[in-house]
């Protein structure tokens, strides 16, 4: 099988979604859908590697300030900005400024709130991702800054829509902890180490918070995909025909 992780000079978390098995026994095609951390640091060799993969689109979930600080406009693929503003770091800094001593447990709670906001506040951005997947069959990469939270939720939605089990969804989600290279402290900001350890990794309770909210408010992921994201049975069948082998 192809390597799931692509070794790039300017990205540590660039991964292929291929190979996961759907409920009907088919598998996701390799070299069609990719997830990543931000793409602003790609080298000439990296761009050549992506050109060989024939990637036609990138979906950028980063917010305004993130894009301003680390923007990119690589001519070989079309960039789509489906912005989901990051709130957890800002909220953490506000609490610290107010004199609150942040702990790892506090930060886990903030991360869970962030994932719930993906479900309730930012659903339209993820719906636009599905629209793009149905409109074009060119290989596509979607990403945020670290490729773990906004990107992790997008990957979970895609995999579920294609019939992949929740166990495999979580397996893919947790791979970030093995590959993502945390930025130096000067980039991460002056936050307590125990807080940074939570912010720059993923944990099952983060993704579970979003999944549990979907179950509670929408009666399950199938209904959420259909009623909120526009992915009814016919749309999911089209998606499967395009991306399952």
Per-residue pLDDT 10s for the chain (245 aa) are 789 999 999 999 999 999 999 999 999 999 999 999 999 999 999 999 999 999 999 999 999 999 999 999 999 999 999 999 998 877 887 888 888 888 999 999 999 999 999 999 999 999 999 999 999 999 999 999 999 999 999 999 999 999 999 999 999 999 999 999 987 655 555 678 898 899 999 999 999 999 999 999 999 999 999 999 999 999 999 999 999 99
Q: Which residues are bridge partners to 80 per DSSP?
A: 59
pLDDT score of 189: 59
pLDDT score of 151: 98
What token pair was written down for 103?
Answer: 């702990």
pLDDT score of 89: 75
Residue 202 annotated to the active site: no
- From the list 144, 202, 207, 210, the catalytic residue is 144
pLDDT score of 185: 59
């Amino acid at each position: 099988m192809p390597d799931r992780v692509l070794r790039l000079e300017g990205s540590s978390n660039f991964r292929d979604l291929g190979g996961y098995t759907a409920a009907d026994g088919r598998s996701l095609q390799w070299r069609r859908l990719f997830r990543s951390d931000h793409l602003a640091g790609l080298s000439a060799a990296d761009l050549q590697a992506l050109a060989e993969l024939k990637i036609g689109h990138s979906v950028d979930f980063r917010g305004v300030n993130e894009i301003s600080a680390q923007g990119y406009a690589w001519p070989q693929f079309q960039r789509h900005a489906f912005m989901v503003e990051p709130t957890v770091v800002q909220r953490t800094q506000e609490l610290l400024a107010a004199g609150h001593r942040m702990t790892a447990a506090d930060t886990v709670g903030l991360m869970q709130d962030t994932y719930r906001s993906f479900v309730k506040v930012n659903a339209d951005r993820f719906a636009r991702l599905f629209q793009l997947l149905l409109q074009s069959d060119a290989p596509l990469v979607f990403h945020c800054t670290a490729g773990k939270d906004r990107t992790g939720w997008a990957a979970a939605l895609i995999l579920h829509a294609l019939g992949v089990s929740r166990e495999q969804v979580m397996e893919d989600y947790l791979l970030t902890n093995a590959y993502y290279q945390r930025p130096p402290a000067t980039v991460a900001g002056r936050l307590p180490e125990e807080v940074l350890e939570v912010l720059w990794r993923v944990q099952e309770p983060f993704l579970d918070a979003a999944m549990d909210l979907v179950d509670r408010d929408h009666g399950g992921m199938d209904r959420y995909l259909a009623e909120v994201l526009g992915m009814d049975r016919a749309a999911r069948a089209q998606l499967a025909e395009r991306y399952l082998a």
